[in-house]
Amino acid sequence: MVATIPTGSKAIDALLGGGVRTGMITDIYGESGSGKSQLSFTLCANCVKDAASILFIDTSGTFRPERIMEISGSQLALEKITYIRAFTTIDQMNATRKILEVRPMLVVIDSLTSLFSTEYSGPERHRSLMKYMHELAFLAINFRCPIVVTNMIRTAPPITLIDQGGRNVAQAVVPWQQREYLGSTVSIYSHMKIKLEIVDSAKSLFQAVLMQPAGKGPVPFAITTQGISDQK
């Protein structure tokens, strides 16, 4: 059993203490296009190079088998991946229990909260997700497998600034308004939490910040045809 799985970027590996760790839930979140799925694909490619089995649970249609083959450089990469497309939270929960059967070296759930956001509302959404996260943590610890989940962020409506005459003078979105979706619930059972941010998408410049446990950062990384890598 490998202790860590490399992400493709030595800088991100250093943030995570060597890579994605066995027996832990690693939560990767960020805005659309920040590299969440690409990081997941790179982890899969690095696993199949060692002939390791993978369970990939896709809740939003983001799985790209051609990318995993491209990153790994092997047409046989997909033979080691058990892929499940989940359309409901029941599908997602049942797919997670495949860990007992498949005994994978890596589990990827891309993305964690998308189905919970459509099927539940209010406190029930948090309760259902918390129950699911508890099950994931149990499986990660007891079956010694790394579980990687991706998650989105939400941006609160802009603040409207009003002068003494009651006139709107400006709107502003402050940084703290960009939050991980259902982040407080996800954090309870996540062992590691990393945020991906876009610096310049045209130049493939991105950065990663370790949010839990709090660490040094941000560190730069790039997305190439070979997946996640360090910036040149």
List, for residues 65-104, the tens digit of each pLDDT value. 999 999 999 888 899 999 999 999 999 999 999 999 999 9
Query: What pLDDT was estimated at residue 74?
Result: 87
User: CB count, 10 Å around CB of 142?
Assistant: 11
DSSP element (H, E) containing 71? helix 65-72
Round to whole Å and give the CA distance between 93 and 83: 14
pTM > 0.75: yes or no: yes
Round to whole Å and give the CA distance between 36 and 228: 10
Query: What pLDDT was estimated at residue 50?
Result: 79
Round to whole Å and give the CA distance between 104 and 152: 25
Ranges of beta strands (E only) in 91-215 are: 106-110, 147-151, 153-155, 159-162, 168-172, 178-180, 192-200, 205-212
Topology given in CATH for the domain delimited by 4-229:
Rossmann fold (3.40.50)
Taking residues 199-221, what's their average pLDDT? 90
Strand partners, 4: 21
Both structure tokens of 205 = 């410049």
142-176 tens-digit pLDDT: 999 999 999 999 876 555 555 555 555 555 544 45
Round to whole Å and give the CA distance between 182 and 185: 6
**Band (201; pLDDT cuts 50, 70, 90):** confident
**Band (203; pLDDT cuts 50, 70, 90):** confident
